[in-house]
Amino acid sequence: MTEITPLKSSEFIDIAVIGAGPHALTFAAYLLQKRKSWGDRLRFFDPSGVWLSHWRRQFAALEIPHLRSPAVHNPAANPFALRDFAQDRFPELYPPYDLPSTKLFADFCDRLIQDHQLQNRLIPTAVENIVPLAKGFCLWLGDGSKVLARRVVVANGGGQKFLPDWVNQIATPYPDDRLQHSSQVDLRNLYCRGENILIIGSGLTSGHLAIGAANRGAKVTMMARRVFYEKFFDADPGWLGPKYLKDFHANSCWQSRWQTVVGARNGGSLTPEVLTQLRRLKAEGKVEFIENCEIQKAQWQESISAWDINCHGGEKLMSNRLWLATGFTLQVQQQQFLQTMLQKHPIPIVNGLPVLSTHLRWGNQELYLMGGLAALQVGPTARNLSGARMASELIVDTLIKPRTFQPLLVA
């Protein structure tokens, strides 16, 4: 195992990356492909101290067998690198679009991390505040120390669990594990034989949870405020290139760009494969769908260890567990570590998304954002692996431009 290089408080970093998920890895791969010798200039911060910890956890907890996105969407600069890596493992590229198995993708990322020697550039702590200086930034770290960085790339995934209003209105006390957001459920530790489980949400996560629980002997009800529908990908592949992005970028109205982003993702959808599995489970009496329906009120009944649920429209349900596959909201104002930046260098914000430069830069600061927060520039796939590729290209392009560096000055 590689040892993590300790960081001295006097050290200053050329490029500090916040997060060590797939987006940070994509950024690193793009940068190091263009500037092989820049490895020493990079430091990544992630409290887990492990690359892709969040990604791996969510795939394991939901028992997801393969990615939703094709193999060309991977963190390497060369889109075909994953296919090349899979030379002896073609059965792990699932039809019809070569969707990599979870294991294949993880092994490929491990290889990339090893090839670029990234493990020893990862500092196992969170960045809690970014304080802009006259030149560069001071990063306040979760372990109480501070470091200076000339440039910062934010690749923190982010997002707050979205909870419907009725959740905040529950008046009865209830055991924690009886109402959970999907990100808290871990199918691997679940014993639910004979239980009724109600899952809220129409996205792929609700599908994975339903399959996992039904296979463990639960009776699952899936409820959505719309109809369940199938789609191969999160957003139409036209969003990966000029077909749709040309008009998107030509549109100077940020509000309308925001609406386009939301509209293109069109809420959650199931893949045809998962919907087929769910229909089979429905035929076996293990899964039930309730569409165009929303919960109005839920009350925990301790005596029967179940939720007493009233829906808008008058329907009533009982369920032993409630799982909220209701996704996440992403708002730059809710990112604690960006509060000082927001105060000292305010930038326009549209419904929670910051207006960045075309190179994803925060105003005139050497701070760059990737992931869902960059959606007003990158488009509806910003948070996906394809979005990571687009964002990395834009950021790397500008970072490698020759410039004269001045010494850091403390403001």
Residues that bind ligand FAD (CB under 6 A): 18-24, 45-48, 53-55, 58, 62, 67-69, 73, 126-127, 155-157, 205, 337, 371, 383-386
Give min distance, CB of 45 to ligand FAD, in A: 4
Q: Which residues contact 216 (CB under 8 A, 6 or more apart)?
A: 187, 190, 191, 192, 193
Q: In the complex with ligand FAD, which residue's Cβ is closer, 127 or 220?
A: 127
Give min distance, CB of 174 to ligand FAD, in A: 25
Q: In the complex with ligand FAD, which residue's Cβ is closer, 22 or 268?
A: 22
Per DSSP, the residues of 113-176 read HHHTT-GGGEESS-EEEEEE-SSSEEEEETTS-EEEEEEEEE-----EE---HHHHT--S---G
Backbone dihedral angles phi then psi of residue 180, each to the nearest 5 degrees: -135, 145
Q: In the complex with ligand FAD, which residue's Cβ is closer, 118 or 298?
A: 118
Give min distance, CB of 397 to ligand FAD, in A: 20
Give min distance, CB of 135 to ligand FAD, in A: 22
Q: In the complex with ligand FAD, which residue's Cβ is closer, 59 or 300?
A: 59
- Enter the tokens of residue 384: 């996906």
Q: How far is CA 4 from the centre of its chain?
A: 25
Helices (H), 21-80: 22-34, 53-61
Give min distance, CB of 99 to ligand FAD, in A: 7
- Enter the tokens of residue 334: 């809710």
What's the one-letter identity of residue 31? L
Q: Which residues contact 105 (CB under 8 A, 6 or more apart)?
A: 67, 74, 82
Q: In the complex with ligand FAD, which residue's Cβ is closer, 28 or 322?
A: 28
The residue sitting closest to ligand FAD, measured at its beta carbon, is: 21
Cα–Cα distance, 74 to 384 (Å, whole number): 10
Give min distance, CB of 327 to ligand FAD, in A: 9
Q: In the complex with ligand FAD, which residue's Cβ is closer, 39 or 65?
A: 65
